[in-house]
Structure 1
Amino acid sequence: MKILSDLSWFFKKEKKSYISGILALLGISILNLIPAKIMGNIIDSIKDKTLTPQTLVMGVGGFLLCAVMMYILRYLWRIFIFGTAFRLENELRNDLFKHFTKMSPAFYQQHRTGDLMAHATNDLKSVQAVAGQGVLQLADSVLSGVTVLLAMIFLINWKLTLVAILPMPLLILCSQALSKRLHKTFNVAQEAFSDMNNRVLENINGMKVTKTFGQEEYEVENFKGIVKDVYEKNLRVTRYDAMFDPMIIMIITLCLVLSFIMGIYLINIGDITTGNFVTFVNYIHQLTWPMMALGFMFNTMNRGLVSYERITKLLDIPEDIINHPDALNQAPQGDIHFEVNHFKYPDQEDSANLKHVSFTLNKGETLGIVGKTGSGKSSIIKLLLREYDEFDGTIEFGGIKISQYDVTQYRNAFGYVPQDPFLFSMSIADNIRFGKPDANLDAVRMAAQIADVDKDIIGFEKGYDTLIGERGVSLSGGQKQRIAMARAILMDSECLILDDALSAVDAKTEERILKNLKQLRKHKTTVIIAHRFSALQHAQNIIVLEDGQVIEHGNHKELMLRHGWYAEIFNLQEFSKENAS
């Protein structure tokens, strides 16, 4: 019953609803006793030849009245118990999603998307079942079981009752044994479901690659193996689950056998009447549901415990980026001073990603960052965006350490366009206004014009109301990049970061966009990572990275005069451009 203790915070908060639901169940348990007693009395009246039409009508009326009252009470307990259980699911789902939004990229490197989705679906359903079906099964098994036993003792015969319930301890022993095995197997089954969920997500996202390489048959066969593994592990759970019902039926049958033996004896010696014995047999049958509910409860509680432990394990993972108690609730402005002596990613054991990297970016200036793949360009961006706080050095924005700002306020000062932009499955206009939901269409169009994508958009049949497929599947790479850039431009952030955000557009389009940006952001700061160095000629400062260190820095003219790596690559690019033309 550990899961009930773990969820006690919710039960306390919703105690009025649960108490109301349990009272309704108690009323049903008491009403359930009446029809059997009425039937027993009628049988005794028939045997004694004392049955009158009035007695029969009253008996039938009692049946109908009990049925109507039980109908009302059953409606009420469903509202109070099941309705409240859905609130738990909603609350946990919101907590999970809120927690996901607070976690750093390191969290998503360690946890697969499919696994997180399984936690937010299957596991939440299992926990919700505890607060709904589990509470019902526990309360109903106790209330029904106790009321029936009390009726058997005080309304029929205590000796007959004692004999009839002798097999009951077997139920507890067998249920506990099955529950332990069910707990282990269900945990394994849930993990297998997470693996399958993740595989489905990967295959859907990578369907283009699968088709390009002609690996459809291989992926289908591979997926069959994963599905088979999930099937076998869930079948193992079902096998233990299926043992509950036969076990309960066997115990009830044993109770009935003992009841008949003892009942016939008591009737012969005159301790009970035939009608009372019929009532008693009815009560034995009424014990079937409490016993089955008890078995179901162990099943539900164990599934819920496994799932709740999986959910709380995620929720207990601390945030990497947190606000200090005295965090500044203001957006940063001014110059950026970056000085990092040493930085490496948390899950990385080899050499540092950045070593002794320093630069100052004055307000209104443009910084260019270039270097080979893996040289540390994106690491600088991640630190600027405060995706990681653990590093040796100092980063200041407006003369204040970035760790002293409120995280939300700090990040609102940045507009970020990655090389592989993410677009949501909604209209183009809504994608552009994502960072500024209250922006009107005129502002959206202006941002799109600066990003040189307005003509493309109005060329679509529905224009800015065109719905984008998942991850922008219906758009070209260049269109996706420019829409993402329009989204960042619309925010009018203090600092705009372009992480190779023009790699999918042609040189002339790139030139137009950069010209627009230069005019728009002449008083604001811009950081550009680019592989085409022509995009950086207007930058006041350019740093060249290699193996996480700055090997060259200066403006375009200064770097060309040094005849280093920058000048060599720039000349090669210009030569290729001339040959192409």
Structure 2
Amino acid sequence: MKALLSLNKYLYKYRGRLLLGFIITIGARVFSVFTPQLISDSTTAIEKYVNGEVTSVAEVKEELLINIGLIIGAALASAILTFLMRQTFIVVSRYIEYDLKNEVYAQYQNLSLDFYKRNRTGDLMNRISEDVSKVRMYVGPALMYGVQTLTLFVVVIYFMVEAAPKLTLYTLVPFPILSFAIYKLSVAINKRSAEIQQFLSRLNTYTQESFSGIAVIKSYGILGRFNSDFVELSNQSKEKNISLVKVEAFFFPLMILLIGFSNLFVIYFGGMQYIDGKIESVGVIVEFLLYVNMLTWPVASVGWITSMVQRAEASQERINEFLSETPNVKNKSPNSSESIRGEIEFKNVSFTYEDTNIVALKNISFKVKKGETLAVMGKTGSGKSTILELIGRLYDVDEGEILIDGKPIESYNLDGLRQQLGYVPQDAFLFSSSIRDNIKFGKADATEEDIINAAKNAAVHKNIIEFSKGYDTILGERGITLSGGQKQRVSIARAIIKDPQIVLFDDCLSAVDTETEEEIFSKLNKISNNKTSVVVSHRASSAKNADHIIILDEGKIKEEGTHSELIAQEGYYRDLYQKQLSEKEN
């Protein structure tokens, strides 16, 4: 149970409620064990009347009625306390589930981008949902029934020893066997539970990817293949679950068998002791039978509790794997808050992607002054997008340094830095909500006028108002309702509504025509006055108005200068410009 030790902080947090639940549980169990004693007393009263020791029927009847009243009262008290017990333990388990999900989600938010390249979405979702639910069963039902079972054992055995010590020993003979069986089965359950949770992550990942890529699957006509693969995965998942259920199925019959042996021992050895005069009344035997059968559910629940604990152990171990992950990009100034002007400088920057070992940048140096526009061009894989990711501190450099306003980028509060950036990725991601909400994502308190102005500046307002619901149009997952160009322009509107000091455009107009691109950049040049812009593009038309242009090739700066300077010399930029100019004329 080492993995579950990480939950102790939550148990300590709610220690008051748990202590109250523990006290209530003891009270509920104490009241419940009064019943066998009262029934024993009633049996003894009848026995004495039959044996002639008591001759008054009225006296026996009065004692029986009193005992019946006490039994009903004890049962009511036990029922009320049991209800309160559930209200404490189960409610605490929901609080812990809430806290744990928040902790996992916060960790997901803090982890670096490379973490998400190494792990699949389905697995991330499974750990924050299914695994956390398994852990909740441990801090809720398992803990509650564990305390209840332990308390009942202690109380019942105490009363049994008080009534007949020797008979108690005979009754408890099967319990060492029970303990050994529980240990062996627990090991098997833990192993199978871990396998099931891992496989469930695979199944969730496959399902999530199938739904996300349904358009591609349909267009390739491979629905049948995906269905058959899913059936195969489902069957494997079923077999693994069945293997776990087969092991768990041993628990209840085994408990009932051992309880049955205890009943036989009580009847035989108790009867022999009664015949030998070591037990004064048959009521003691009846009392013991009730005690043993009262232990039936707690003993049977030991298997269920053990199963829940083992599943929770396997799940918490998976959760801890991610909680122990350390983000590569750390917020070294979490308490500082500093505005930036927008000057950017790269000094001999080199960077290699850890997951692929691809060298993206090699000894890159350039400087962008406040209010200037830098255009970055080059072939696919030359390192253009990496420059934007480093400015947003999605990664930290391997060598060299990046300066913002003359200060190392690491010295800024990470959240504060990113809040002052407007980033438009190449693959525009939109949320499954309204167009209005997607644009407001850049500025939560934006007015309707702000939203419309941002849409107009991104040249998407006319498209939006043509929809039947306008800005209230609900987008499908990842913005599937819109065309590629519309998604890119909504993404631009989301970035510029922030009014950031630095705007990063990562080939974000690749899905629009040249005329629309020029219209958008014309408007952006007007609204981004005194703001620093870094534009990554494959089109010379996007770069020609920039204050400075750099051409990357295999992570190195191959050419740099203004549009007129680069046009005047032979090279990649001039060839590209002339080629795209001739295509436009044709």
Closer, same or farther: CA 549–305 of 1 in aligned 2, 3 Å:
same
1:22 correspondence with 2:22? yes
Instruction: Between 215-224 and 433-442, report the one with greater CA deviation.
Output: 433-442
Closer, same or farther: CA 393–231 of 1 in aligned 2, 3 Å:
same
- Separation (CA, whole Å) in 2 of partners of 1:98 and 1:217: 39
Q: 1:477 aligns with which of 472, 484, 497?
A: 484
Alignment partner, residue 460 of structure 1: 467
Residues 358-411 of structure 1 show CA distances to partners (whole Å, capped at 9, x for unaligned) of 111111111111111101101111111111113211211111110111101111
Closer, same or farther: CA 142–2 of 1 in aligned 2, 3 Å:
farther
Q: Is the 8 A contact 2:333 2:414 kept in 1?
A: no
- Separation (CA, whole Å) in 2 of partners of 1:504 and 1:7: 49
SS in 2 for 1:7: helix
Alignment partner, residue 58 of structure 1: 66
Q: 2:356 aligns with which of 322, 343, 348?
A: 348
AA at the equivalent of 2:330: I
Closer, same or farther: CA 539–390 of 1 in aligned 2, 3 Å:
closer
- Separation (CA, whole Å) in 1 of partners of 2:366 and 2:335: 25
Closer, same or farther: CA 6–401 of 1 in aligned 2, 3 Å:
closer
1:518 correspondence with 2:525? yes
- Separation (CA, whole Å) in 2 of partners of 1:296 and 1:566: 70
- Separation (CA, whole Å) in 2 of partners of 1:380 and 1:327: 27
1:265 positional shift: 0.7
1:296 correspondence with 2:304? yes
Q: Is the 8 A contact 1:327 1:405 kept in 2?
A: no
Question: Which structure 1 residue ranges, 5 or more long, are not aligned?
Answer: none
Instruction: Between 230-239 and 183-192, report the one with greater CA deviation.
Output: 230-239
Alignment partner, residue 215 of structure 1: 222
AA at the equivalent of 2:8: S
Q: Is the 8 A contact 1:328 1:404 kept in 2?
A: no
Residues 537-576 of structure 1 show CA distances to partners (whole Å, capped at 9, x for unaligned) of 1111111111111111111111111121111111111212
SS in 1 for 2:33: helix
Alignment partner, residue 38 of structure 1: 38
1:180 correspondence with 2:184? no
Closer, same or farther: CA 186–403 of 1 in aligned 2, 3 Å:
same
Q: 1:256 aligns with which of 252, 263, 280?
A: 263
Residues 63-105 of structure 1 show CA distances to partners (whole Å, capped at 9, x for unaligned) of 3212321221112111111100111111110011111111111
User: TM-score under structure 1 normalisation?
Assistant: 0.96
Count residues with an aligned counterpart: 577
1:93 correspondence with 2:97? no
Q: Is the 8 A contact 1:477 1:504 kept in 2?
A: yes
1:437 correspondence with 2:444? yes
AA at the equivalent of 2:242: L
- Separation (CA, whole Å) in 2 of partners of 1:135 and 1:197: 29
1:47 correspondence with 2:55? no
- Equivalences for residues 73-92 of structure 1 within 5 A: 73-92=81-100
AA at the equivalent of 2:434: S
Alignment partner, residue 537 of structure 1: 544
SS in 2 for 1:493: coil
Alignment partner, residue 398 of structure 1: 405
Alignment partner, residue 139 of structure 1: 147
Q: 2:283 aligns with which of 259, 275, 280?
A: 275
Q: Is the 8 A contact 2:333 2:411 kept in 1?
A: no
Residues 140-176 of structure 1 show CA distances to partners (whole Å, capped at 9, x for unaligned) of 111001111111111x311111111011101111111
Question: Which structure 2 residue ranges, 5 or more long, are not aligned?
Answer: none
1:296 positional shift: 2.2
AA at the equivalent of 1:275: G
- Equivalences for residues 218-229 of structure 1 within 5 A: 218-229=225-236
Q: Kindly, what percent of the aligned residue pairs are identical? A: 34
- Separation (CA, whole Å) in 1 of partners of 2:428 and 2:4: 44
Closer, same or farther: CA 338–206 of 1 in aligned 2, 3 Å:
same
Q: Is the 8 A contact 2:134 2:311 kept in 1?
A: yes
- Equivalences for residues 96-111 of structure 1 within 5 A: 96-111=104-119
- Equivalences for residues 328-407 of structure 1 within 5 A: 328-350=336-358, 352-407=359-414
AA at the equivalent of 2:108: F
Closer, same or farther: CA 59–4 of 1 in aligned 2, 3 Å:
farther
User: TM-score under structure 2 normalisation?
Assistant: 0.96
AA at the equivalent of 1:19: L
AA at the equivalent of 2:174: P
1:563 correspondence with 2:570? yes
AA at the equivalent of 1:430: D
Q: 1:577 aligns with which of 576, 580, 584?
A: 584
Closer, same or farther: CA 406–370 of 1 in aligned 2, 3 Å:
same
Q: Is the 8 A contact 1:140 1:293 kept in 2?
A: no
- Separation (CA, whole Å) in 1 of partners of 2:447 and 2:249: 59
SS in 2 for 1:437: coil
- Separation (CA, whole Å) in 2 of partners of 1:331 and 1:387: 19
- Equivalences for residues 190-209 of structure 1 within 5 A: 190-209=197-216
Alignment partner, residue 119 of structure 1: 127
Root-mean-square deviation (Å) = 1.5
- Equivalences for residues 478-517 of structure 1 within 5 A: 478-517=485-524
Closer, same or farther: CA 143–345 of 1 in aligned 2, 3 Å:
same
1:327 positional shift: 7.1
SS in 1 for 2:366: strand
- Separation (CA, whole Å) in 1 of partners of 2:314 and 2:21: 26
AA at the equivalent of 1:43: T
Residues 453-500 of structure 1 show CA distances to partners (whole Å, capped at 9, x for unaligned) of 111112222221222121111111111111111000100111111111
- Separation (CA, whole Å) in 2 of partners of 1:323 and 1:466: 37
Q: Is the 8 A contact 1:340 1:354 kept in 2?
A: no
Alignment partner, residue 10 of structure 1: 10
Q: Is the 8 A contact 1:157 1:272 kept in 2?
A: no
1:47 positional shift: 2.9
Q: Is the 8 A contact 1:3 1:301 kept in 2?
A: no
AA at the equivalent of 1:373: T
AA at the equivalent of 1:353: A
